[in-house]
Structure 1
Amino acid sequence: MNTRSRLGGQRVVLEVRSGDPSIHLVDASTGVGLLVIGAGGGGSTVRRVLRHAHCPVVVVRPSRPGRDAPLAGHVVVGVDGSPAARGAVEFAFAYAAEHHFPLAAVHVSAESRDDYFYDETTLSTHFATEPHALGLLAEEVEPWALKYPSVAIRRAVMTGSVAQGLTRAGTGARLLVIGDKRRGMVSRARTGDIPRTVSADAPCSVAAVPLGRPEGEPL
């Protein structure tokens, strides 16, 4: 009722379905721009929807306090130069521009011994020697910075594993956006299912932007 009162009855459709919620949610994701689900207990429904949805999925959870965190209040997006990450960057810039939020582009590097930050608005640096990863961030962000000039941008390099670095970057964030490469079961077993791990552990809502689903993989 709150949604209808805010958006108007003509813009809201209510459907009640029985059966496995993950199957119905994946089916509902066909041909739509965004699917929003609650984090719940982070169980099988969230895992299956993240793995098989045909559109970006936002897993909503309350943000944990993080006002003193370096990227608090930002739309945080993971960047690694891959096609999946580029889709996430596009999504994050559009979201930040629409809602007038600042954006933080984050790369996670196992080679770094500490976290590094660069603020493009104040041109302030927070490190002694610029790491190579900041060059990657600048290259990946530049086209979208030109398209969305109103978005204030920070660049950050986090240390540790990808899942740990992104989860830490999400402290106090408005939204954490990650690309989903939709790798097969063998690849996920070897290197971990990052979208699932981040959506379960992040201290904020997470948007997973899919690259594509492997053909023939069962739900």
Structure 2
Amino acid sequence: MNASPPRAFGALVDLPIVVGVDGSEPSLRAVEWAADEAALRGASLRLVYASLWERYEGTSIAQDLGMPSEEVMAEDVVETAERRARLRQPGVKVTTDVLPEEAEYGLIRESRSALALVLGCRGRSGVTEALLGSVSRTVAGHAHCPVIVLRGSHDHRVSQAHGRIVLGVAGKPAGSAAVRFAVEEALLRRATLEAVRAWRRPVHEPRAHPLITGEPAHIQEAQAAELVEEALATAPAGLHVERRTIEGFARDALLAVSREADLLVVGARRRDGHFGLQLGRVAHGVLHHAACPVAVVPEPA
């Protein structure tokens, strides 16, 4: 899992959308969501299941014990996922693979040659809905392409449930891969793009000078508005955009607006001296608690 420069989503339709499957119903709903996304983008779909069985045990032990072989189980997992994808979007090209390795390593490697990576919010371990599985959390923090984790109680369709894509505006939005990704998603879905930036006033803030009457009462609010404008500076003229600054913590602001969104997009940056992407508190928080699917988009350093 050596680090490499992160790649923006872009229009690289020759690359597949990859889905990590494990036989659980959340992962199968992720397959359906990804099939819709692939249909929108004219991309193919690649379904992968990671297993260490062949490396450590082998099928002969299963036969000796009179147990179903993990190889057969793995094939059943990917075949079931493939059927769900083909029923959902018959026109999308689907391929499958079984990876004899840890899920985290396999999926991160797959992300090097993927348009995006889609995961369910939990697997067979039965983790409560409010928490994110360890595989999803690790992959979201280290992948080389956008990672979309399906959260929320939506019908798992790339649809017009709310007609709204929410972008969490970071401190350096110019040239942001997350901005480009959010714009593409809004255009593909003919949805509104809502750019959101939170701001907080200092604990001991002096009163605003009367000469700035008519402007935001707080410098921090004005700076937040400027960042939103910067993020939307290159948005296409035909795209319907909304600008929003919210006083409070960024995590809380994004969680609130996620209740009326079809997708929440946040960026994640590599940090010098650290391996891979280090998810900050905001990305970590929305991945755990958002009311809609969350896309974590790797940003250049």
TM-score higher than 0.5 = yes
Residues 10 and 83 of structure 1: is their aligned pair in 2 closer, same or farther, counting only changes over 3 Å?
closer
Indicate yes or no: 2:290 matched with 1:202: yes
* Equivalent in 93, 98, 107 of residue 11 of structure 1: 93
Residue 232 of structure 2 corresponds to 141
1:50–1:195 Cα contact (<8 Å) kept: no
Q: Is the 8 A contact 1:63 1:172 kept in 2?
A: no
- So what's the TM-score if we normalise by structure 1? 0.74
Q: CA deviation at 1:54?
A: 0.8
CA deviation after TM superposition for structure 1 residue 211, in Å: 1.5
Match runs of 1:172-191 below 5 Å = 172-183=260-271, 184=274
RMSD after superposition: 2.8
Aligned partner of 2:120 in structure 1 is: 38
Secondary structure at the counterpart of residue 203 of structure 1: coil
Structure 1 residue 61 displacement after superposition = 1.8
Q: Which amino acid aligns with 1:135?
A: E
**Percent pairwise identity:** 32
CA contact (8 A) 2:141 2:278 kept: no
Q: Which of structures 1 and 2 has the larger relative contact order (alpha carbons within 8 angstroms, sep 6+)?
A: 1
Equivalent pair of 2:104/2:135 in contact (CA under 8 Å): yes
- Say if 1:57 and 1:207, in contact at 8 Å, map to a contact too: yes
Displacement of 1:85: 8.0
Confirm or deny that 1:20 pairs with 2:102. Answer: yes
Q: Secondary structure at the match of 1:15?
A: strand
Report which of the two structures shows the higher radius of gyration computed on alpha carbons: 2
Q: SS of 2:170's equivalent? A: coil
Q: Which residue number corresponds to residue 31 of structure 2? A: none
Counterpart mapping for 1:88-127 below 5 A: 88-111=178-201
Aligned equivalent of 1:125:
none
Provide the TM-score with structure 2 as the length reference: 0.55
Aligned equivalents of 1:136 and 1:180: distance in 2?
17
- The change in CA–CA distance for 1:164 and 1:56 in structure 2 (over 3 A counts) is same
> CA, structure 1 residues 175+100, in 2 after alignment: closer, same or farther (shift >3 Å)?
same
Which whole-Å CA distance do the structure 2 matches of 1:19 and 1:153 have between them? 43
One-letter identity of the residue aligned with 1:138:
E
> Residues 212, 51 of structure 1: CA spacing in aligned structure 2 closer, same or farther, 3 A cutoff?
farther
What is the CA–CA distance in structure 1 between the aligned matches of 2:263 and 2:92, rounded to whole Å? 28
Distance 1:139 1:33, change over 3 A: same
**In 2, Cα distance between equivalents of 1:92 and 1:188:** 21
